[in-house]
Structure 1
C-alpha cells in the first residue's frame, strides 16, 4: 500500500465513530433475578428525554409463548422523563443467553407510566437521570458543601449559646453545697476550699447532626440553624406515633379523623364520599367522552386494595380533560343507589392538568366472568407492595365499561385518608358482571375494604334521564 494511502486509512479509522461496549451496572439483585442498566447507552433524544437500556437477567429460563423457546434475559430500551418521573418502553429484546437473541418487539403504542418512589422503577430512574460528573456538577457540589458548612457553623454557635445559658442558670439556681444525695442519707458538712464553692457543670449539649432530605420528609433548609432538641423531663409523656389507617379496629373509618391532623376532613368534612345516591335531579347530562385505549399496566397490592396503574387513556366532560391514572377495587361497593348495595365496585381515578380529580365508579354484581378483571387477577403480586408488570401484555379499560353509559354525578371526596374533597364523582348506572370465583379471590385478600356511607348534607345529585 502506498504510504500516503496508509496514512489516509489510518486517519479515517481514527475519526470513525466507535460503538462503545456495554457497561452493565447492577441496580438491584434479588432471589431469582438481577436488574442491570447499560450506563454507556444513556443519551438524550430530540425531545430532551433520557433514553437508556436496561435488562432483567433471570436465574432460570422461562418459555416464550410466541416462539416456544426459552429465554433468560429481557432487555428493554426505555425513554425517561426525569422531570415528570415517568417512562415509556420503546423496544424489548429477548435473549436465550448472553448475546443469543431470540426475538425483538417494537412497542407500537408508547405509553408513559408513572414511577413510584421506593420501587425498582425508582432506582432505575435515579440512575438514568443522575447528572454526569462535570463542571456544573462539581460547582453544584461545592455550593452544597458551602451551605452545609455555613449551616453547621450557625448550629454550633446556637449550641454554644444554649450551653452558656444553661451554665448561667445553674450558677444562679444551684447552691454550692446542694449536691444530690440518695434519700435517707444524712448531709455531711462540705470541706472548705475552692472545690466546695464550685457548682457542678451541666452536661454539654451534643450537636445535632444535619438532617438528610428524604422523600416525603420535612427536611431543614440549608443555611438555617435548627433548634436543639433537649432531653424531656423524667416521666413526661410523649405523644403516641400516628397509626396507619385500616378498615377495622382502632384504625377503622370512624377513627380516621383522629389518626393524623391531615386526616381531619375524614371526620369534619361536609362533602364526604361515599353516599347513598337517591332523589337526584333527572336531567340531560352531557355524555362522558371515554378515550380509553390499550396500554401496558402494572398491578400492586398496596395493603388496602388491588390497584392497577395504566397510562394513555382519558375522559372529557364539560370541556375539561382528565387523564386516567389508576383503578382499584372495593368490596362491597362503597356506593349505594336508592339503598341498594352491590357486590364490588371499580374506581377509575382520573386527574386533570390543574390537579382536580374525577372518579368513574363501575358497580359490579355477581354473574358471568369478566375477562379484564381476570387479567388483573392472573397478575396479582405474591407480596404486598410489590409490582407485577407483565411483559408484552396490555389492558384495555374500554372492556370494563358497560354498553349503556348513563350516570349519576355529585361532588364528594376521596373514600380513603386524607379524604380530600372537591372530587367529581361519576357513577355509571348500569352494573357490570363478575363471577363468583372472581369475587371469592378478592374476598380472600380483602374481606371488607369499604368506607361506610357518609351524610349527604343536602348535596345536589344529578342523573341522566
Structure 2
C-alpha cells in the first residue's frame, strides 16, 4: 500500500505547517504566521522546580489512556525539514485520551528533531520525537481554529551503549537510508509498534499549552512532554545526523514561557535521568561522522545561544 492511501487531510497539509512560503531553521526571525509575535509559543525550557504538581487532579484528570498503538500502518518520508511517519487508511487509528486532554485525540503522524526542541532545566537531549494527534471528529481546518485542536507527545532520547539501547528505534532505522535525501519519495507502508517510542513510564510527564514548532506556529497544542528519556545507540543517532533536512540540526529555539503554567503529573520525577551538558555534547561529538562534523562545527558552537541564551532567562 503506497502513500496514496495516506489520510487525506494529512497528505494535503504535509507537515501540518500550512505555510505559504519556504522557511528554514537558520532564519527563524523570518518565519510567517504568529511565530514571532505569539505569546504561547513552543518549545520551552521546562524548569522542573517551577512546575506545578497537580495533586488534586484539577488539570490532569486521571491517567493517560493509549489505545491501538501497538500495530499501526505508516508511511515514512523526508519533507525537507524532518523525517516523518504518517498514518495510513486501514485499521482504526490510535487514540489517546485522559490526563490533561478533554476528549479523544486521533494519531496523525510522528517526526523527529535533533537536538531536542524542549529543554529540561536548561539542558537538551540529542533527539526528540513528536507524536501528533488531532482532536477526534475535527477537520484540520477546524483544529487550526481551536486552542485544543492538537495534542502532541514529546519523548526524549539519550545515546547509550549496548544492544538493548537499539530497541526503541529498531523498527524505524532500517527505513532511514531510503528517505535520507529530501527529494526521495515516501516508502511503502508497513506496520509499526508505536509503544516503543512513547515512553516506558507514560504517566510521568510535563504538560502545558503551546504551539506548533514550525510555521505558522499556531497556538493550538496541548503538549505532553515525557520526563523519562528512551535510549538509542550511537549508530542510530548518527543516521539522523546524516539526513538532509537543510542543515545539521532541525530544532527551533527555546521560546519565552510568558507566565504560562507547566504542570507535572503525580508520577513525574524528572531528576532521575536529567541530561547534562557534558553528556549532550559528548553524544553530539561521538555520534557525528567526520563529514557531518565539518558542516556541524559551527552549529555546535551556536548551541550556547539556543540552550543558554535570552530565551531561557525569559522562561525562569
TM-score, normalised via structure 1 length: 0.46
Deviation at 1:327, TM superposition (A): 0.2
Secondary structure of 1:378's aligned partner: coil
Deviation at 1:113, TM superposition (A): 7.7
Secondary structure of 1:298's aligned partner: strand
Deviation at 1:86, TM superposition (A): 7.8
Q: Does 2:259 correspond to 1:458? A: yes
Contact 2:45 2:119 in 1 (8 A): yes
Contact 2:199 2:229 in 1 (8 A): yes
Q: Which has the larger radius of gyration?
A: 1
Which of 31, 49, 65 is equivalent to 1:289?
A: 65
Shift in CA distance, 372/395, structure 1 to aligned 2, threshold 3 Å: farther
Q: What is the count of residue pairs matched by the alignment?
A: 228
Correspondence 1:74-153 to 2 at 5 A? 87=5, 116-117=11-12
Name the residue aligned to 2:105: 322
Contact 2:10 2:108 in 1 (8 A): no
Shift in CA distance, 115/411, structure 1 to aligned 2, threshold 3 Å: closer
Q: Does 2:128 correspond to 1:345? A: yes
Higher relative contact order (CA 8 A, sep 6+): 2
Name the residue aligned to 1:67: none
Correspondence 1:305-454 to 2 at 5 A? 305-310=82-87, 312-317=93-98, 318-352=101-135, 353-354=137-138, 355=143, 356-367=149-160, 368=162, 369-380=165-176, 381-382=178-179, 383-385=181-183, 386-390=185-189, 393-405=190-202, 406-445=204-243, 446=245, 447-454=248-255
Secondary structure of 2:192's aligned partner: coil
Give the strand-richer structure, 1 or 2: 1
- Cα separation, 2, equivalents of 1:337 and 1:461: 12
Secondary structure of 2:112's aligned partner: strand
Deviation at 1:254, TM superposition (A): 2.3
Contact 1:309 1:327 in 2 (8 A): yes
Name the residue aligned to 2:279: none
Shift in CA distance, 324/118, structure 1 to aligned 2, threshold 3 Å: closer
Q: Does 2:90 correspond to 1:300? A: no
- Cα separation, 1, equivalents of 2:249 and 2:150: 25
- Cα separation, 2, equivalents of 1:116 and 1:267: 27
- Cα separation, 2, equivalents of 1:243 and 1:306: 20
- Cα separation, 1, equivalents of 2:260 and 2:152: 17
- Cα separation, 2, equivalents of 1:113 and 1:420: 21
Q: How big is each residue's C-alpha offset from its partner over 1:244-299, in whole Å with a ceiling of 9 and x where there is no partner?
A: 10112xxx21221xxxxxx2311100000000012110123332111113022110
Q: Does 2:253 correspond to 1:253? A: no
- Cα separation, 2, equivalents of 1:309 and 1:432: 21
For the aligned residue pairs, the C-alpha RMSD in angstroms reads 2.6
Name the residue aligned to 1:138: none
Which of 30, 35, 42 is equivalent to 1:266?
A: 35
Q: How big is each residue's C-alpha offset from its partner over 1:383-405, in whole Å with a ceiling of 9 and x where there is no partner?
A: 42510024xx4101012122212
- Cα separation, 1, equivalents of 2:12 and 2:152: 23
Contact 2:82 2:250 in 1 (8 A): yes
- Cα separation, 2, equivalents of 1:293 and 1:314: 11
Deviation at 1:115, TM superposition (A): 6.7
Deviation at 1:117, TM superposition (A): 4.7
| Unaligned ranges ≥5, structure 2 | 144-148, 267-316
Deviation at 1:464, TM superposition (A): 1.3
Secondary structure of 1:340's aligned partner: coil
Shift in CA distance, 459/319, structure 1 to aligned 2, threshold 3 Å: closer
List 4+ stretches of structure 1 deviating above 4 A.
85-88, 112-115
TM-score, normalised via structure 2 length: 0.66
